[in-house]
Amino acid sequence: MERVIMLADCQSFYASVEKAAHPEYADKPVAVAGDPARRSGIILAACPIAKSFGVTTAETLGTALAKCPDLIVIRPRMQTYIEVSMLITEIYESFTDLVEPFSIDEQFLDVTGSIGYFGSPLEIAQQIQAKIMLATGVWSRVGIGDTKILAKTACDNFAKKVDGGIFVLPKAEVSKHLWPLSIDKMYGVALRMTRHFNMMGINKIGDVAQMPLADFKRRMSKRMGRNSDIQAELYWQTANGIDDSQVTPSTHDAQKAVGHGLTLPKDYSKLSDIDVIILELSEEVCRRCRAKGYQGRVVSVGCGGADFDRPTGFSRQTTLQDSTNITKEVYEAARGLFRAHWDGLPVRRVGVTLTGLSSDDTYQLSLFTDKVRLRNLERATDSIKNRFGNSSILRASSLLTAGQALERSQKIGGHYM
């Protein structure tokens, strides 16, 4: 029996939640922007009316307002969006226990075993749409296929463009619907890869799908280097709708890394300022590790500049003698890595990550550091923050001009709650 996989996606999710909360904006162009107080803020979501004026996600607020002067701009409420997303997940789970989050507004569902209870795949998709609309006021689109990649492709390229918001893409019709699409419409192919494919004479998804895999690998190797075999096979399988991966509810449970990154409000050029950021990031990483019962042995630090066309920066890692989730130890390692590899160019993005994770129920004692005292101290500060908020206790360095912890304490995922 062929699997029946769905990818359900909420239309303009953040903007749709806001329009549902503000009925007076029903017929008006609405966008959710990172910081409406700044014209340089980024558009996070735009409703269909706003999009009809040419407003797009990821463009600056100033650009969007130039296209649509009457645009209603709303500051994001991330906690609300998370709560709505969780409610939608509960709706999916009323149809199947095989639900896998893909993003805050997209989730995979395997409804193969649900057809006997709820009707045909089309009927199930329609019931899902109706329940989400009734519960949240958000319109959803559903792609249906035999595999996750076909469901995703059906949603992104077809369901979002047809009346009813539902499209079925079975394997038998891949050549009819998928192959004629331009190569940039294939999942996993972004702008840079599109350019590579175009230089190789590959313009449509069918150009990849119909090429013998061995020939495609040779052409990829010539263009991208000898280590492109796995990448080539993945693209070839995607073009043919081949995907054996299962819809796995616990797919994100087995954590391999805990990291935190930050895009700075301006270029940082002084080591003393960057040290403040590395300390704040190290503290956040270690706090999340402690909350999940993890400690790690491999510390990574990375940074980048503001110019994406001329990328600068680096990413390096070091292995500690013992696993830890103590802020001081992670910070010292990350700070040392940064100082050893930074080229002195302005920094706009910084990240710290801890990998090589293990349970923190046992740890190595030291003759030179009172780890018991440090662990107890950090768990005490964690408890204070959990009870009274992230800004209830801060390091003095975070109150310096370079510090970002106070402002970030008011946000979720970089956006206001």
- The angle subtended at Cα 109 by Cα 249 and Cα 243, nearest 5°, is 90
State the pairing for strand pair 140-145/5-10: antiparallel
309 in a known ligand binding site: no
Cα radius of gyration rounded to whole Å, the chain: 24
Asked if residue 206 lies in contact with residue 239, where contact means CB atoms within 8 angstroms, the answer is yes
Known catalytic residue: 378? no
Catalytic residue (one of 18, 100, 106, 280): 106
Phi then psi dihedrals of residue 293, to 5 deg = 80, 25
Dist CA 323 CA 258 (whole Å): 13
244 in a known ligand binding site: no
Dist CA 22 CA 390 (whole Å): 30
**Which own/partner pairs from 168-171 qualify as long-range (CB within 8 Å, at least 24 positions apart)?**
168/121, 168/122, 168/144, 169/143, 169/144, 169/145, 169/241, 170/2, 170/145, 170/146, 171/2, 171/145, 171/146, 171/147, 171/241
Burial state string for 246-264 with b = 16 or more CB within 10 A and e = fewer than 16: ebebeeeeeeeebbbebeb
Give the annotated binding-site residues.
9, 105
Give the annotated binding-site residues for Mg(2+).
9, 105
Instruction: Show which residues are catalytic.
Output: 106
